[in-house]
A and B are shown apart, each in its own frame.
Chain A
Amino acid sequence: MASVSDMYDVTWEEMRDKLRKWREENYRNSEQIVEVGEELIQEHASKLGDDIWIIYEQVMIAALDCSRDDLATTCLHELKKQFQGSHRVKRLAGMRLEALERYDEAFKMYNDILQDDSTNTAARKRKIAILKAQGKSTEAIRELNEYLEQFVGDQEAWHELAELYINEHDYAKAAFSLEELMMTNPHNHLYCEQYAEVKYTQGGIENLELSRKYFAQALKLNNRNMRALFGLYLSASHIAASPKVSAKVKKDNVKYAAWAASQINRAYQLAGHGTKETKCSLKAVEEMLESMQIMPS
């Protein structure tokens, strides 16, 4: 089979840089990481210097995702040799056991780490991940809440909690978790937008108005967020159509919805540029917006 460097005409430095980019931006494109990383390790190990250890770690985790236990074991072996007694490596050994569904052994490994070092957040989070993998959502949520009482600044954990709550359809608690994230990351348009979606899903006029405000906020932070634009259109339309709102609120929301609709049309026109397929979807969007239009009562 052709090598990656042959197929894509890249040098080993470019492969190494790609791996770094994926690592820094937390991509989970495991098949690609395995393809590139395995070749880098096999053909160019000597040139990588100290980078090789973090690459072993990255490739090992990707290998677990792809059921490549052979590759994962090789990487783990090299890391164990180099960093004897390391908790970081022990966590990787635990992850391998998780991938093999040997959860009890993995659990024990993480507990060993925690006995040595009770503040090891990685081991604690893996234990919660095991609960999630076993479908024990209620316990996972409980453990994660306990973890967050201690490590209140862990954003990844707050986001994981929000998603666990959404999956359990507990939108109120998901909203609370996202509020924590928005407080510490006021400029993050994605948190704003997801919060708005949760509020919309909760339903009711008050939540709809809140959702509209947060969709608008997300747009202010990033005016190209299409989800926020669509969300603004939807929430404003529903508020305007509700019999429970005053005439002024109705009028305001009809205006917001109309503005959002024009922006949506514009965005589709900009994306379209005359290709046949996108002409179809532009038409579909126009018709959709028309079909959802609120008749002024």
Chain B
Amino acid sequence: MTVIKLTTQAYCKMLLHAAKYPHCAVNGLLVAENQKRKDGQPVLCVDCVPLFHGTLALAPMMEIALTLIDTWCKENKYVIAGYYQANERIKETRPNQFAEKVAARIAENFSEAALIMVDNSNISMGCYDPAISVFEHHDNKWKCRDASIDCCEDWSEAQKIMSALLEDRSYDSLIDFDNHLDDLRNDWTNPEINKSILHLC
């Protein structure tokens, strides 16, 4: 069974998105390199594209985002490999119908797609625990993966860098697709944040 793992950049940008809008639900996509994998090799999500904040469950902008980011992926030899969502309420960690629908759509194109729910209560300055639950598609249902499986390629690096980014309030400069739609000059690939993360590595 294929396991999904996240690089530090993917993990950090996802959590920065949640941290930027603490009072809203947020969602986004995870992308992996589009390459042939050997049996048992995990799917590595190398980047994260933050999409929306606030009211998530509407179709048109999600369709635009999926198509546009799919095109961008093809240019960069990536593939959309996952969907993440952080619910509005701190204690609500289950995926809703909309999350399952989007994840299923992604799975049509990438069979090992993962649905990741951010665990809001585990987001802290110290980043003691990974703040996500990974759901995988089995028998037409999304089932939560065993939490003991490491979700990050290098958890101690991710933890250290995430903590530093939160201290710096880097989330203030994170751009999501909503910000892009408000002003097309806003770049949802977040090159500056990517640079900061690389710098901290």
Interface residues of A (CB under 8 A from B): 28, 31, 65, 133, 135, 163, 166-167, 169, 194, 196-198, 200-201, 211, 226-227, 230-231, 234-235, 267-268, 270-271, 277-278, 280-281, 283-285, 287-288, 291-292
Closest to A193 in B: B60
- Interface size band for B: 20 to 34
Tell me whether A65 and B71 are in contact (CB under 8 A). no
Q: Quick check: A278 and B185 within 8 Å, CB to CB?
A: yes
Judging by beta carbons under 8 Å apart, are A288 and B61 in contact?
no
Please give the distance in Å from B122's CB to the nearest CB on chain A. Answer: 15
Total residue contacts A-B, CB cutoff 8 A = 86
Least Cβ–Cβ distance between A206 and chain B, in angstroms:
16
Q: From B25, which residue of chain A is reached at the shortest CB distance? A: A167
Residues of B within 8 A of A (CB): 22-23, 55, 57-61, 63-64, 67-68, 70-72, 75, 88-89, 91-92, 96-98, 169, 181-185, 187, 189, 191
Give the CA-CA distance A267 to B183 in the complex, in Å.
10
Contact of A167 among B55, B68, B70 (CB under 8 A): B55
How distant is the Cα of A226 from the Cα of B88 in the complex, in angstroms?
25
How distant is A75 from chain B, measured CB to nearest CB, in Å? 19
Inter-chain CA distance A277–B59, complex, in Å, is: 27
In the complex, are the beta carbons of A169 and B57 less than 8 A apart?
yes
A285:B68 contact, CB within 8 angstroms: yes
Contacts A135-B89, A268-B184, A271-B184 known; A281 to B58 CB distance under 8 Å? no
In the complex, A166 Cα to B169 Cα: how many Å? 31
Q: Are A65 and B23 in contact (CB under 8 A)?
A: yes
Given A166-B55, A167-B55, the answer on whether A197 and B60 have CB atoms closer than 8 Å is: yes
Complex CA gap A271/B186 in Å reads: 9
Across-interface contacts of B68 in A (CB, < 8 A): 281, 284-285, 288
B60 & A200 in contact (Cβ 8 Å cutoff): yes
Interface of A is mostly: helix
Interface-central residue, B72, B97, B184, B191, by most chain A CB under 10 Å = B184
Residue among A28, A169, A281 facing the most chain B CB atoms (10 A cut-off)? A281
Selected from B67, B98, B181, B191, the residue in CB contact (under 8 A) with A288 is B67
Q: How far is the CB of B183 from chain A (nearest CB, A)?
A: 8
Residues of chain A with a CB closer than 8 A to B70's CB: 288
Q: Are A277 and B189 in contact (CB under 8 A)?
A: yes
Q: Beyond A277-B189, A283-B75, is A166–B57 a contact (Cβ under 8 Å)?
A: yes
A211 to B75, CA, bound (A): 32
Q: Is the CB of B57 within 8 A of A200?
A: no
Give bound CA distance, A267 to B184, whole Å: 8
- Distance A187 CA – B194 CA, assembled complex (angstroms): 40
| Contact yes or no, A281 B187, CB < 8 A | yes
Query: Is B89 within 8 A of A133, CB to CB?
Result: yes
B88: min CB distance to chain A, Å: 8
Q: Which residues of B contact A163 (CB under 8 A)?
A: 55
17 CB < 8 A contacts A-B = A65-B23, A169-B57, A194-B55, A196-B60, A197-B59, A198-B58, A200-B60, A201-B60, A226-B184, A227-B60, A231-B60, A267-B184, A271-B185, A277-B191, A285-B68, A285-B71, A287-B71
